[in-house]
């Protein structure tokens, strides 16, 4: 089971950290994103990551114009075989007590929960029950604490977008939230042949997690499963309130080749579905790094992904 104490300690660590002065928080910021894509961060625009797929269907004008109004702190995997850099813990004067311990305990619980969810995915996709678990032995998952700033002077709009519309990069995301604001984009196909899309608020149910599918799972399932387009928005009357969340991004072994699962290929003339493949084969690590750098306004040159991962 999931301990309430582990959750409560993680929430406290998050809130106490973001209450530090800007000067102290910046001491936890990485100086080189390609070398260490974790730590403290103030600026990131997730919409750019989605643009790598050439998909603009879930991007609204607010998303394009708005720099995400949040700050974050992230850690990566402990396993040195993951190919990701070792965790860095900077001891600063007012860092919350047990900050490292609280986050590491929460990370471990999320690892276990992710394996349970992936086992369910295996059944749903007609794969061996251990299919995804075998590809999580040196995973590159990341835990991110998120703090949405309170707006001192809310805009006059009745509905404010606090984090622009985007999808997550990896296989899935396990999200813990304490406040309302998350919205998902639902696509509907009507009987007359037309289609429409509409944003719906996600109910806030105490003691539960929100599970979002990511871009890698959409790619793996050849678009049979779609990554969850979402944003954070709220009435302007709530804009002066802070909002906190904790997201665990499930990223599988970086050397895993991502090619369509057999159950996700439609039959073609050859009977094997090979003509229906929608994405070229790529490793999970190449996919993840390209998405991450795009979110930071950087690009990966074609054929350069492998050398970039080697540097990590």
User: What are the beta bridge partners of residue 186?
Assistant: 198
Weakest-pLDDT range from 15-24, 67-76, 169-178, 196-205 = 67-76
Find all residues with CB under 8 Å of 18, minimum gap 6, and list them.
25, 71, 73, 145, 147, 244
Which carries the bigger pLDDT value, residue 47 or residue 216? 216
1, 42, 96, 106 from 28: Cα distances, Å: 32, 11, 13, 20
175 confidence band (pLDDT: 50, 70, 90):
very high
pLDDT at 22: 94
Cα dihedral across residues 25, 28, 31, 33: positive or negative: negative
6 confidence band (pLDDT: 50, 70, 90):
very high
pLDDT at 131: 97
pLDDT at 119: 98
Number of neighbours of residue 61 by Cβ within 10 angstroms = 8
pLDDT digits (tens, 9 = 90+) for 74-104: 999 999 999 899 999 999 999 999 999 999 9
Please check the confidence at residue 308 and state whether its pLDDT lies above 90. no
65 confidence band (pLDDT: 50, 70, 90):
very low
Please check the confidence at residue 304 and state whether its pLDDT lies above 80. no
Please check the confidence at residue 66 and state whether its pLDDT lies above 70. no
Average confidence score pLDDT of the chain: 83
Which carries the bigger pLDDT value, residue 56 or residue 152? 152
Which carries the bigger pLDDT value, residue 47 or residue 202? 202
* Dist. CA 155–CA 45, nearest whole Å: 20
pLDDT digits (tens, 9 = 90+) for 239-258: 567 889 999 999 999 999 99
Please check the confidence at residue 150 and state whether its pLDDT lies above 90. no
Strand pairing class (172-177; 70-75): unpaired
What average pLDDT does range 204-215 have in this prediction?
94
pLDDT at 122: 97
**How large a percentage of the chain has pLDDT more than 90?**
58
């Amino acid at each position: 089971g999931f301990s309430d104490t582990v959750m409560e300690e993680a929430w406290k660590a998050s809130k106490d950290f973001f209450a530090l002065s800007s000067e102290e928080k910046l001491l936890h910021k990485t100086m080189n994103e390609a070398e260490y894509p974790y730590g403290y961060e103030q600026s990131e625009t997730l919409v750019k990551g989605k643009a790598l797929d050439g998909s603009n269907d879930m991007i609204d004008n607010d998303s394009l114009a708005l720099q995400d109004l949040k700050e974050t702190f992230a850690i990566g995997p402990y396993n040195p075989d993951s190919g990701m850099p070792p965790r860095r813990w900077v001891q600063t004067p007012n860092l919350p007590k047990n900050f490292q311990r609280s986050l590491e305990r929460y990370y471990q619980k999320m690892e276990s929960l992710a394996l349970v969810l992936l086992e369910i995915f295996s059944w749903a996709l007609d794969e061996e029950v251990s299919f995804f678990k075998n590809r999580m032995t040196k995973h590159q998952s990341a835990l991110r604490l998120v703090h949405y700033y309170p707006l001192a002077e809310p805009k006059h709009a009745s509905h404010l977008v606090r984090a622009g519309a985007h999808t997550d990069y990896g296989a899935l995301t396990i999200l813990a939230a304490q406040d309302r604001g998350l919205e998902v984009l639902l696509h509907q196909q009507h009987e007359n042949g037309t289609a429409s899309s509409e944003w719906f608020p996600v109910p806030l149910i105490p003691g539960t997690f929100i599970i979002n599918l990511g871009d890698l799972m959409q790619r793996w399932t050849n678009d049979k499963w779609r990554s969850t387009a979402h944003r954070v928005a709220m009435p302007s009357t709530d804009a002066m309130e802070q909002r906190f969340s904790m997201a665990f991004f499930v990223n599988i072994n970086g050397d895993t080749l991502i090619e369509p699962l057999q159950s996700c290929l439609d039959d073609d003339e050859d009977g094997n579905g090979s003509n229906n493949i929608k994405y070229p084969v790529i490793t999970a690590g190449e996919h993840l790094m390209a998405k991450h750098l795009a979110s930071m306004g950087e690009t990966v040159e074609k054929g350069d992904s492998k050398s970039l991962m080697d540097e990590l």
